Amino acid sequence: MSNEFYRLRVNGVDHEIRDAWTGESLLYVLRERLGLPGTKGACEQGECGSCTVIMDGEAVCSCLVMAATAVDADIVTVEGLANDGEPTDVQQSFVNAGGVQCGFCTPGLIVAVHHLLDRNPTPTDLEVKEAISGNICRCTGYGRIFEAVRQVRDARAADAS
Amino acid sequence: MSITNATTVDEALAALRANPLARLIQGGTDLMVEVNLNRTKIEDVVSLRRVAELRRWHVDEESNTLRLGAGVPYAEMERAPLCDYVPALAEAARTVGSPQIRAAGSLGGNLGTCSPAGDGLPVVSALDAVVHLRSHDGSRDVSVHDFMIGVKRNARHTDELIVAVTVPLVTGFQGYAKVGTRNAMVISAASACLVHDAAAGAVRLALGAVAPTVVRTRAAEAWLASETSLIGTPSVSEALAKEFGARAAAECSPIDDHRSTAAYRRHAISVLAQRLLLRAAAGAAVHHGGNR
């Protein structure tokens, strides 16, 4: 490509991406060039949600973002959610509720749930279902995932009052 | 290989003029699937993601129309205030992929790809929308009926950009319905948009995923208008709605493919058309998503 490199801002850090092919997805660049393997790749066609990241405040499938077009975007991956290696309340709640089984969908779900609760701190069960309808889990049957989200929602509400 | 991250329409058009073979990318939800699965080979790319003017919309009170920028994401169409202006578009938007896809996908992308299963397309057809195109040399407006030509084929010239779509604001019921193998995250096996223009006394129905491109059921529409008055809330019996559904189904030309069969699709259209017409007659309130 004519541009020798481009910059991506991921989890508050600027990275220079060199010698990349134009068509590389953000998912690929995160995992293979930036050493951020928390974001998972499965379907690579936007159907499974395991590659969900936050881009400019929106939850998107990183497999469908052409990385070289995200040069001005603020990107947050699952690695950027926790502080000092401590799990976030959402992450801890997934563990407590048994919402993690094989774990492959978990990073995408964690990002999607953070995004939901940031915009809507008190989602109804239907709103939770809609918000994670693009994140497919083949292990849990979703019951324990919904329970994890309820627990965070209620704990945050209790903290706020 | 090159990439142009345009920030204005003019910049994108200059890049397209310099290289008419460049691929346009807005949300990436179609193109990146092709790229990831090695179904297309890309060389040069013009990205529209940062073009702010493509993300704008405005209502023209004089002509009573909404002009929607080609890059407005579906997520925005689901929410107020847009969902109140064009409820059928909000309903269709809510069935597009997942929240992640709706944050990226746009009507411009739907029209650019021009898949017969594009969820926004029956809506713009039923509303007789106008597609605004611009090139380095000028601009032109094309009726959406002339714009959509066939499976993944449209009337856009290679040096043109779809900049916006204009739809009329109509009073009366409008709704979108779709059938697929599951509720969320599904590509249509069959879809339908019905718009009742209560002032003009017309019902317009457009069908998706049941022909090489979106189908307007003009014969069924004309038949309905001859059977009952469509000014104000129409009076529609179950039998009339059923006949309307059958006539609509007769106007599509579905195929057997990996998503469904021709016979099922035709049946689904008869049911969807009937159901939407009965909703129009009931003056059904349109329900929008929870993310407002």
Residue of B24, B32, B42 to mutate, testing the A interface (most A Cβ within 10 Å of its Cβ) = B32
**Nearest Cα residue in chain A from B183:** A133
Q: Residue A148: what residue type?
A: A
Burial call B87-101: b when 16+ CB within 10 Å, e when fewer: bbbbbbbbbbbbbbb
**In Å, how far are A37, B39, B72, B146 from B108, measured between CA atoms?**
33, 21, 8, 16
* Residue matched to tokens 């497919």: A136
Could you list the pLDDT tens digit for every one of the 292 residues in chain B? 789 999 999 999 999 999 999 999 999 999 999 999 999 999 999 999 999 999 999 999 999 999 999 999 999 999 999 999 999 999 999 999 999 999 999 999 999 999 999 999 999 999 999 999 999 999 999 999 999 999 999 999 999 999 999 999 999 999 999 999 888 888 999 999 999 999 999 999 999 999 999 999 999 999 999 999 999 989 999 999 999 999 999 999 999 999 999 999 999 999 999 999 999 999 754 444 333 2
Which pLDDT does position B182 carry in this prediction?
A: 84
Which pLDDT does position B288 carry in this prediction?
A: 42
- Alpha carbon distance B292, B150 (integer Å): 35
- Alpha carbon distance B192, B272 (integer Å): 7
**Burial class of residue B203, CB neighbours in 10 A (0-12, 13-18, 19+):** buried
**For residue B96, what are its two tokens?**
């597009």
Tell me if chain A has a CB within 8 Å of the CB of B259.
no
In 3D space, the residue among B276, B288, B125, B289 whose CA is nearest the CA of residue B213 turns out to be B125
Low-confidence ranges of chain A (pLDDT < 50): 1-2
**In Å, how far are A8, A110, B2, B246 from B264, measured between CA atoms?**
47, 38, 45, 13
CB atoms inside a 10 Å sphere around CB A142: 16
CATH 1.10.150.120 fits A89-160, yes or no: yes
Q: What is the pLDDT of residues A17-56, one digit of tens each?
A: 999 999 999 999 999 999 999 999 999 999 999 999 999 9
The answer to whether the beta carbons of residues A68 and A20 sit under 8 Å apart is yes
Which member of A1, A69, A123 has the closest CB to residue B1?
A: A1
Per the DSSP assignment, residues forming a β-bridge with B233 are none
Chain A nearest-CA distance from B215, in A, is: 27
Q: Which fold has domain A5-80?
A: Ubiquitin-like (UB roll) (3.10.20)
- The alpha helices in A60-105, defined as continuous H runs, are 89-97
The second-level CATH assignment, the architecture, of B174-281 is 2-Layer Sandwich (3.30)
Q: What is the pLDDT of residues B4-21, one digit of tens each?
A: 999 999 999 999 999 999
Which pLDDT does position B284 carry in this prediction?
A: 55
Which pLDDT does position B75 carry in this prediction?
A: 97
- Alpha carbon distance B103, B120 (integer Å): 14
Tell if the CB–CB gap between A69 and B27 is shorter than 8 Å. Answer: no
Question: Where does chain A hold its CATH 3.10.20.30 domain(s)?
Answer: 5-80
Which pLDDT does position A2 carry in this prediction?
A: 47
Which member of A23, A123, A133 has the closest CB to residue B185?
A: A133
Chain A residues within an 8 Å CB radius of B31: 66
For residue B98, the SS3 value is coil
Q: Are strands B202-208 and B148-150 parallel, antiparallel or unpaired?
A: unpaired
Tell if the CB–CB gap between B100 and A112 is shorter than 8 Å. Answer: yes
Tell if the CB–CB gap between A25 and B36 is shorter than 8 Å. Answer: yes
**Nearest Cα residue in chain A from B41:** A23
- Alpha carbon distance B213, B253 (integer Å): 10
pTM of the model: 0.94
Which pLDDT does position B286 carry in this prediction?
A: 47
Tell if the CB–CB gap between A69 and B49 is shorter than 8 Å. Answer: yes
In 3D space, the residue among B55, B2, B49 whose CA is nearest the CA of residue B28 turns out to be B49
- Alpha carbon distance B284, B282 (integer Å): 5
